[in-house]
A and B are shown apart, each in its own frame.
Chain A
Amino acid sequence: MVEAVPVRRLLERHVVRQFMRHKGALLGFAFLVFILAFVVLGPLIWTLDPQFIDIRARNSGMSLAHPLGTDQLGRDMLARLMAGGRASVAVGAAAMLLSLLIGGLVGLLAGFVRWLDGPLMRLTDLFLALPLLPLLLVVILLFREALRAAFGPEAGIFILMVAVMGITGWMQTARVVRGEVLTVKEREFVVAARSVGVPEHRIAGRHVLPNVLSPIMVSATLGMANAIITESALSFLGLGFPSDFATWGRLLFDATDYLQQYPGRVLWPGLAISLTVLSVNYIGDGLRDSLDPRSRSTHAGNL
């Protein structure tokens, strides 16, 4: 046990080194940091109100007063892009975390506890069969009033969206994790741990979970991308945030009518969505490579 600490530290260092070697992952990471700084710190520097309508300045191009121009009502695009990013990234991250938590837990339990496997996987099938849109309609119908009264219109919708996306987005993660757990738990080191009397919950936490981290990471990145896109789709259907509350999806939706006249208005939010999603995917890619036990074992000799 005394040696466990330095070994773990070595492992961590190895993972970081592997990650740094993955150029795409590094670039993706740098871009994500940039986007986070842009949406979190940006509004502190660029203090224009994203909802303020200056109708005389509508449809203006790039200028010092409006670096990315204004929209059809004269709202500053840069400010809206920042505000929109804050909402979109927050929704994406929160929904991803929630679906990861549920999916990971269900997958782990199903793979590890034999008698839970059947019921949990049937539950997963059930959720997979649920049509997302009608479900959303019903959920919004049932809970919007209550949440709006309790948290206000924006926070209420945020909670609702994150909850619904989390609840309807965990199934893939659960399936992948279960499959992975089933293979890992038959591996020698797990059998060895069990034979020396390590309790089941510790085997699950210390030995199985770290080894199924890579598929979890990958589905997390996919989940975040999905959540950002689902949020846009919901805003499109009018089920999302109020129409004047900027999100990237909303900006994109508003701009499609003016695609020919003002392509920039589609370009910026579109670029932000796709680059964020892409960078998260690359990070996931790099993480998988560096966390992969096989890549670790090939370098183990050098440690």
Chain B
Amino acid sequence: MKFFIDDLPVLFPYPRVYPEQYAYMCDLKKTLDAGGHCVLEMPSGTGKTISLLSLIVAYQQHYPEHRKLIYCSRTMSEIEKALAELKGLMKYRSKELGHDEEFRALGLTSRKNLCLHPSVKREKSGTVVDARCRSLTAGFVKEKKERGEDVDLCIYHENLDLLEPHNLVPPGVFTLDGLTRYGEEHKQCPYFSARRMMPWCNIIIYSYHYLLDPKIAERVSRELSKDCIVVFDEAHNIDNVCIESLSIDLSEDSLRKATRGATNLERKIEEMKSTDAEKLQNEYSKLVEGLQQAEQAREEDQFIANPVLPDDLLKEAVPGNIRRAEHFISFLKRFIEYLKTRMKVTHTISETPPSFLTHLKDLTYIERKPLRFCAERLTSLVRTLELVNIEDYQPLQEVATFATLVATYDKGFVLILEPFESEAATVPNPVLHFTCLDAAIAIKPVLDRFSSVIITSGTLSPLEMYPKMLGFTTVMQESYSMTLARRSFLPMIVTRGSDQAQVSSSFGIRNDPGVVRNYGTLVTEFARITPDGVVVFFPSYLYMESIISMWQGMGILDQIWNYKLILVETPDAQESSLALETYRTACCNGRGAILFCVARGKVSEGIDFDHHYGRAVLCIGVPFQYTESRILKARLEFLRENYRIRENDFLSFDAMRHAAQCLGRVLRGKDDYGVMVLADRRFERKRPQLPKWINQAMLDSETNLSTDMAVANAKNFLRTMAQPFKSKDQEGISTWSLADIERHEAKRKAEEARMMHGEVDPAQRANQIPSTLAIIEDEYDDDDIDADMLMLDAQ
């Protein structure tokens, strides 16, 4: 269907549009017009991706700027899905418009997924593929070949040079599969085609890391122009991604490897000195001049800033004491040796970068200045030495990045040395965590560079947390509810077991037999009444294991066994995927299955249990993080000191977003239905922190239930759902046709006009005022009802 938002014609590839999709697109357009960042929460399974893509494509094609879209998603399957949707959209557009638009969209993923080279693609590990690919495609390898030396080249990569550099692939949308197929047919490397075509693409779809991880962003994304529209989809975990991309863990083993790398480099330098001293001299004189070239490029505003290479560093020359290659190697060795001595401690240490630096200086006379240049200097050296097997130097690179970061940032980072893996362990296995505490550092270059950054997901509540944590201001911040023609999902909070005792996974009572038994009966009851699939989420693997073993002892598992096949998620990815496969098969056949999994595990993120794969989801306990972790403690303290976010607020926010994420797994569309149960007494007070769309659908009478009542409710609900439901019933309410949109627009316009003239009739005023009040004083609501009830009692 085709409709207009203001003056923008939007082509939507489906005959109906959901009201929330329409609202989403309107807000998106406002944001793009205003030129700022926004945070949008849209219920899962309401076609977020397609509305986003169809609006932005329309925007791109209609306005003369043709702003590029960078769409970042989390997993490969999501990237593939988005590309497929985009393909469908473009097909629809060309059918509607009657001609093909000049349009290119590509997805980018790792070499491992795209490689075509017959021997390289058979490698299993991603790093090995990267390294081998580099050894076949690097610039100096080709130079060597031209000089007549006998080196291997990748024919797929070589073929690219024969093509026009800006027309490696024809216009159109390529899914990752499609791109590999095209590469196979034309004997060209899909990975490099995608990377080199990035400047000429209208839409690029790739993973977060290509934009947020400074090491990758430096290579892949730095040439993107300023007016790009950046979208982070499924972004509820974006703060963790930011933090992970700047955190470094060093173990004894990696330090040993780093030493080996340094020794290798030393040997290489000696070799080069005897054969090609000129090259080293060239590098040296270049360094004397400073990193000015890089600076020039940045001044011209070509590149995105890099947190590992701060701006002021570019303006200076490399300090004299690491200018010469051999001095730099001895410098690195000293630094690594120092880290090794630090590893020998037997108690946990947590310290700030400045105090680390002072101690470092006392012991080894390494100053801050040269440390800051470490990463850059190492890159330059590696380039000069023309090393082929870069993967050997990975640990060394890590140490150098660590050095640069520790010397650059005083605040927002903490060093934590943990000598033992767990508290019970006696054999030391020290790990030096260099942890980023401030999510804003990694995302800052992105927010600064691009004028429109859109953060969107199904679960972003509370919305104001994200701008606070990531350090930016929004022009639009909106949460949409779900319009439904019938109540298709039933969220409930169970606070008491069937014996009226409270249930909770809080540390004090989680192993109490009564609580475990109550949870057991809850699961058994739901296994009994729910058709097909049931998913149960636990707060942690540890708790899941203990509770399952206790259930085994109580005979609860045997009871569940009567109704469903039981499957369990494990930390091992392959085992879990097998379990998932079996679960799906079991859901399609017979009585269905029950899947036990963990709220922070793989299943809770990105795996959908649509339709009969998930008719009920149970969240056993509040999925809090493990609060004794030092890293988490440091982060909490940082958040409190710098962003005024209280420890408990953050912990509960984090737990609730994971819980909401789990609940969202079962509802993947408007014709889908499912029961959502939150089983913990603490959920009752955390209810306002749930996303708006879940919260709205929850009746007040369903927030404090015992197991029996919940089961009775669910039974009723499932019986209603079993009634035939025609898609016609949804029309005009939860799906809109063009006429509905027009009606809505006309109504809105009329209302606006009336507001402008100040002729608000009393009825309408009465309607509007409470609605605004309700937002401000949400707390009143419940009490009003309570008060009414009391009045009734009195009469």
Do these two chains interact?
A: no
Binding site for A on B (CB under 8 A): none
Binding site for B on A (CB under 8 A): none
